[in-house]
Amino acid sequence: MNKQIKVAIVGQPNVGKSSLINAMSNAKLHVGNFTGVTVEKKEVFVKSDLFDIKMTDLPGIYALNAYTPEETVAKNFLLNEQYDIILNVVDANVLSRNLMLTLQLLDMHKKMILVVNMIDEIEAKKGSIDAKKLSILLGIPVILTSAKTSQGIDEINKTIIQTYRAKQNDNKIYYTQKVEERIKELTKVLQKSPHFKDKDYARFIAIRLIDKDENVYKIIHDLPIFIEAHNVLEKIYSSLTAELDEDSTVDILSNERVAIAHNLHIETVNIKEESKNLNEKIDNLLIHPILGLPIFLFFMWALFQLTFVLGNYPMNIIGDIFTYTATTLADILPNGTVNSALTQGIIPAISAVVMFLPNILILFFGLNLLEQTGYMSRAAYLMDGFLKRFGLQGKAFVPLVSGFGCTVPAYMAARTLKNPKDRIITMLVLGFMSCGARLPVYILLIGAFFPTHDAGNVLFAIYISGAILGLIFAKILRVVLFKGEPEPFVMEMPPYRLPSYKALYMDLWYKTKMFLKKAGTFIALAALGIWFLSTYPHNSALEKSYEIKIQHTKNIQIKKQLQNELSAKSLEESYMGHIGKFIEPVFKPLGFDWRMSVSVIAGLAAKEVVVSTMATLYSVGNASNTSKGLIQKVRENVSFNSAIALLIIIMIYSPCVAAMSTFYAEIPQWAWRAFYTIYPNVVAWLFAYGVYRLLSAVGH
């Protein structure tokens, strides 16, 4: 077995760490052009002849003084985990600012490599960066790369191995004399403790303490050296601030790092200042004070139009293929359990889910474009003032929009919100943003009850209604339970970038694979379970009495009617029928029959299961319509008012088990977990009931 080299990939947000790992390996890490795409550490393995390289992609961190929960993940890893090399990725476009973190990392005195990414963008501006000089000045290897064009990527692996084999370089970065004197003073005190015998480690801890790092302060707090170190530290705080006329030692160290970074930039970067560029011209339109918001709403409307209109064609083709397969198999296979399980259980269920894959992919494609071009941050900027009026922070826009894709990563994206109150409110209303898995139910019901030319608008209205409801609830939560103002909005606006077609393709391919895998495993198994529960136990007496009646009837119409009656009665007497009848009273006021009620409950496992359950139950319950598409079956069995009530239930009620587990993992307080589990379901039922009664009252 090869020896393993553990590499920590560290850098400020949006410098292309994940893109770099994808370029170095076959990994398919999610990438985007905005701050906070990666919010948890991810491990990727790269094999070479002699070594296995384990790379840990850490969330972006501006400085070692972590500010948000996702930055704390990166900081905790750097301070507490075992690794051999730090691979510090910086953005060539903002090198000076990125070097601020580099200088803090150099204080750690670990083996380190600097990767200057996005060098292609500097070269496109006819600029250059002197990697050799930067390497000499910093005392660590420097590689110029572009994850987009794969420039310099091969060099990274080689440099990792060389650095691993080489001995640790001496420190080359020092602060000004007054600061260095204090660092030395504190280092000496710390070295008295057996925990800080290593001089370099003691120096790092001393710097972090002068930098008022709370996490490091907590480390020494419980050690015997604390009293002596604390006294020296207090003296350093007061003497340094007085001598250098600053408010805090944090300002002093920060200013020193700025000076070093600035000089490094001057020494190594050669770039001409640009006049008004394309980026600004696009910004002039997209973030226009008046046109900005309507343009954003137009983009979202266009996305939902495309999702329905464009997705409709492949959807119908896939649906027809499955219907044909089911009908053919029903004819070919001998009557019995296998025939029934396949043609009335598994195939309709998988068909009901897979046929919506094109729509889901179009939606994800649009959201991916939003993420990769850099428009996401602009939209957050435009929405901040609006969101603030509803008690949300502008940064909450990112998890809220991500929620249109999948609620699980959206909950995790809420880690970018520093204030715990902002974070809980955002997570509590995230369920109102309809995820991709709910799309099949919407398209099914819209397809059954609305004309095709209105379908895209109805879909857009559903998503917007969900978002508006979410905002109203955020306001209520802020006023009633989470008093106070949201955290101030501060967000980096990355330059616009053309989306990476490879990243787009990889992301969509990965989602397709996962979706089909889910359909072929979890949903097929769920469908088999639903089919079993809705087929058994057999009532032989009932079947026999109907068979006699059917045999004695010559009229084909009556024969069909009797067959349908038998199927419906068998279904009602099945296990599922009993379960459905038990649940039915809860949903009866919404006009749901027991089959719809069961589908809604089954949807708690995964939202796609709603359509697969409906497909199975309406197939088992109707012997003569195997050849009819699901949309047709729904049209025949569900009233318009109940369909609208079902839409509202699906839009608001609890998300899937996976999303709920993520919420429980992110929010440790039991009170919020209980609240989150109950309130969306109560709200969903009340809204659905209100709309159902209103529609009935106006005579629909």
Partner 1 sequence: MKLSQLTIGANAIIQSVDLQEPLKYRFMEIGLRVGTVVQICSKTLTSDNLYLKLDNSSCISINKDEAAHIKILPIDQRDQWAHYGKISDSHDCVYPNCIIEK
By CB under 8 A, name the binding residues for partner 1: 62-63, 65, 67, 93-94, 96-97, 100, 136-137, 139, 172-176, 244, 248, 250-251, 254-256, 258-260, 262-264, 266, 273, 280, 283-284, 287-290, 292-293, 377, 380-382, 384-385, 388, 394, 488-493, 495
CA 527 to chain centre: 27
Judged by beta carbon, residue 283 or residue 572, the one nearer partner 1 is 283
d(CA 325, CA 438): 26
Closest separation in Å from C-beta 86 to partner 1: 18
The C-alpha atoms of residue 119 and residue 151 are separated, in whole angstroms, by: 8
C-beta closer to partner 1: residue 397 or 404: 397
| Choice between 131 and 173, CB closer to partner 1 | 173
Task: Identify which of residues 283 and 584 has a Cβ nearer to partner 1 in the complex.
Answer: 283
Q: Please tell me the distance from the alpha carbon of residue 591 to that of residue 595, in angstroms, as a whole number.
A: 11
The total of other beta-carbon atoms located within 10 Å of residue 151's CB is 18
Residue 43, SS3 per DSSP: strand
Residue 12 CA from chain centroid, whole number: 19
Min separation Cβ 37 and partner 1, Å: 17
Question: How, if at all, do strands 51-57 and 128-129 pair?
Answer: unpaired
Q: Please, what is the minimum distance in Å from the beta carbon of residue 289 to partner 1?
A: 4
Least spacing, CB of residue 535 vs partner 1, in Å? 59
Strand-pair category, 128-129 with 269-270: antiparallel
CB-wise, 37 or 617, nearer to partner 1?
37
CB of 112 to partner 1, least distance (A): 16
- State whether residue 90 is helix, strand or coil: strand
Tell me if 485 sits within 8 A of 443, measured CB to CB: no
Q: Could you tell me the end-to-end alpha-carbon distance of the chain, in angstroms, rounded to an integer?
A: 71
Q: Vertex 282, ends 279 and 287: CA angle to 5°?
A: 110
Indicate the helix (H) or strand (E) that contains 534: helix 524-535
Least spacing, CB of residue 255 vs partner 1, in Å? 5
> Hey, CA dihedral for 461, 467, 469, 475, is it positive or negative?
negative
* Whole-number Å distance between alpha carbons of 421 and 428: 11
Dihedrals phi, psi of 409, to nearest 5 degrees? -65, -25
CA atoms of 7 and 9, how far apart (whole Å): 6
Q: Quick one: CA torsion of 131, 134, 136, 141, rounded to 10 degrees?
A: -60
